[in-house]
Chains A and B, each alone.
Chain A
Amino acid sequence: MTIGTTARGMLGVAMAAALLASTAACSKDSADAPATGGGGTGAVGVDLPRADSDFWNAYAGYVTPKAAEVGVQVAGPTNSQNDVQKLISNVDSLVTQGAKAILMAPQDTGAIGPKLDELAQKKIPVVSVDTRPDSGNVYMVVRADNRAYGTRACEFLGEKLGGKGKVVEFQGALSSINGRDRSEAFKECMTQKFPGITVFEEPTEWEGSKAQAALETRLSTDPDIKGVYMQAGGVFLDPTLQVLKQRNRLVPPTDPKHIFIVSNDGIPQELDAIRKGEIDATVSQPADAYAQYGLYWAKQAMAGVTPKEGPTDHGSTVVKLPNGYEDQLPAPLVTKENVDDPALWGNKK
Chain B
Amino acid sequence: MSETLAVGAPEAPPQPPKRSPRAVTRLRLARLRDLALIPPIIALLIYGYTLKPDIFLTKSYLVDTVLKYQTELALLVLAEALVLIVGKFDLSLESIVGIAPAVAVFLVVGQTTALGAPWPTWTVLPVTLLFGALIGVFNGLLVVRFKLSAFIVTLAMLIALRGLQLAIVGGATISNLANRVPTIDNLGSLRILTVPLSIWIVVVAFAVGVVVLGYTRFGRSLYAVGGNADAARAAGIRVERVVWTAFIVAGALAALAGLMLSARLGSVAANQGNGMIFTVFAAAVIGGISLDGGKGSLVGALCGVVLLGLIQNVLTLAQVKPDQIQAVNGLVILVALVLARLTSGKAQD
Interface residues of A, Cβ cutoff 8 Å to B:
5, 8-9, 12-13, 15-16, 19-20, 23, 51-54, 56-57, 60, 171, 174, 183, 200-203, 208-209, 212-214, 216-218, 220-221, 234-235, 237-239, 241-242, 245-246, 269, 272
Chain A residues in 8 Å Cβ range of B266: 238-239, 241-242
Interface size on B, residues (CB 8 A): 47
- Specify which of A56, A203, A242 is in contact with B325 (CB 8 Å cutoff): A203
Interface contact B188-A242, CB-CB below 8 Å: yes
Interface contact A57-B172, CB-CB below 8 Å: yes
Chain A residues in 8 Å Cβ range of B68: 216
- Specify which of B60, B61, B148, B172 is in contact with A12 (CB 8 Å cutoff): B148
Chain A residues in 8 Å Cβ range of B147: 5, 8
CB distance from B104 to the nearest CB of A (A): 17
Chain A residues in 8 Å Cβ range of B175: 237-238, 269
Docked Cα-Cα span, A15 to B271, in Å, equals 24
Docked Cα-Cα span, A172 to B97, in Å, equals 22
Interface contact A212-B264, CB-CB below 8 Å: yes
Nearest residue (CB) in A for B162 is: A52
Docked Cα-Cα span, A174 to B269, in Å, equals 20
CB distance from B92 to the nearest CB of A (A): 12
B312 close to chain A: CB less than 8 A: yes
- Specify which of B264, B316, B322 is in contact with A242 (CB 8 Å cutoff): B264
Chain B residues in 8 Å Cβ range of A201: 322
B234 close to chain A: CB less than 8 A: no
Interface centre among A5, A9, A221 (most CB of B within 10 A): A221
Chain A residues in 8 Å Cβ range of B148: 8-9, 12
B16 close to chain A: CB less than 8 A: no
CB distance from A160 to the nearest CB of B (A): 24
B178 close to chain A: CB less than 8 A: yes
Interface segment, one of B35-43, B163-171, B239-247 = B163-171
Contact residues of B between 42 and 78, Cβ < 8 Å to A: 52, 55, 60-61, 64-65, 68-69
- Specify which of B52, B64, B159, B269 is in contact with A20 (CB 8 Å cutoff): B159
Chain B residues in 8 Å Cβ range of A5: 147
Interface contact A208-B170, CB-CB below 8 Å: no
Interface contact B173-A54, CB-CB below 8 Å: yes
Docked Cα-Cα span, A201 to B160, in Å, equals 35
Interface contact A51-B166, CB-CB below 8 Å: yes
Nearest residue (CB) in A for B309 is: A213
- Specify which of A20, A53, A235, A237 is in contact with B171 (CB 8 Å cutoff): A53
B348 close to chain A: CB less than 8 A: no
Interface contact B261-A209, CB-CB below 8 Å: yes
Q: Taking A53-B270, A203-B325 as contacts, is the C-beta distance between A216 and B149 under 8 angstroms?
A: no
CB distance from B169 to the nearest CB of A (A): 9
Interface contact A51-B152, CB-CB below 8 Å: no
Chain A residues in 8 Å Cβ range of B69: 209, 212-213, 216
Docked Cα-Cα span, A208 to B163, in Å, equals 20
Interface contact B322-A203, CB-CB below 8 Å: yes
B155 close to chain A: CB less than 8 A: yes
Contact residues of B between 146 and 190, Cβ < 8 Å to A: 146-149, 152-153, 155-156, 159-160, 163, 166, 170-173, 175-178, 188-189
B343 close to chain A: CB less than 8 A: no
- Specify which of A19, A235, A237 is in contact with B160 (CB 8 Å cutoff): A19
Interface contact A54-B172, CB-CB below 8 Å: yes
CB distance from A86 to the nearest CB of B (A): 13
CB distance from B271 to the nearest CB of A (A): 5
14 contacts between A and B (CB under 8 A): A5-B147, A8-B148, A9-B148, A12-B148, A13-B152, A52-B166, A57-B172, A183-B322, A216-B64, A216-B68, A217-B317, A220-B64, A242-B266, A269-B176
Docked Cα-Cα span, A57 to B323, in Å, equals 29
The 5 nearest A-B residue pairs measured at CB = A203-B322, A238-B267, A16-B156, A238-B266, A52-B270
Nearest residue (CB) in A for B191 is: A246
B313 close to chain A: CB less than 8 A: yes
Interface contact A213-B313, CB-CB below 8 Å: yes
Docked Cα-Cα span, A242 to B178, in Å, equals 8
Docked Cα-Cα span, A72 to B101, in Å, equals 40
Q: Taking A213-B313, A220-B64 as contacts, is the C-beta distance between A57 and B171 under 8 angstroms?
A: yes
Q: A57-B171, A209-B265 are in contact. List 15 more A-B contacts (CB 8 A).
A: A8-B147, A9-B149, A19-B159, A54-B172, A54-B173, A203-B322, A208-B267, A209-B69, A216-B68, A220-B55, A220-B60, A237-B267, A238-B266, A242-B178, A272-B176
Q: Mark B89-101, 1 if CB is under 8 A from A, else 0.
A: 0000000000000
Chain A residues in 8 Å Cβ range of B178: 238, 242, 245
Interface contact B166-A217, CB-CB below 8 Å: no
Docked Cα-Cα span, A221 to B55, in Å, equals 7
Chain B residues in 8 Å Cβ range of A245: 178, 189
Nearest residue (CB) in A for B170 is: A57
CB distance from A77 to the nearest CB of B (A): 13
Q: Mark B290-326, 1 if CB is under 8 A from A, else 0.
A: 0000000000000000000000110011010011010
CB distance from A19 to the nearest CB of B (A): 6
Interface contact A238-B177, CB-CB below 8 Å: yes
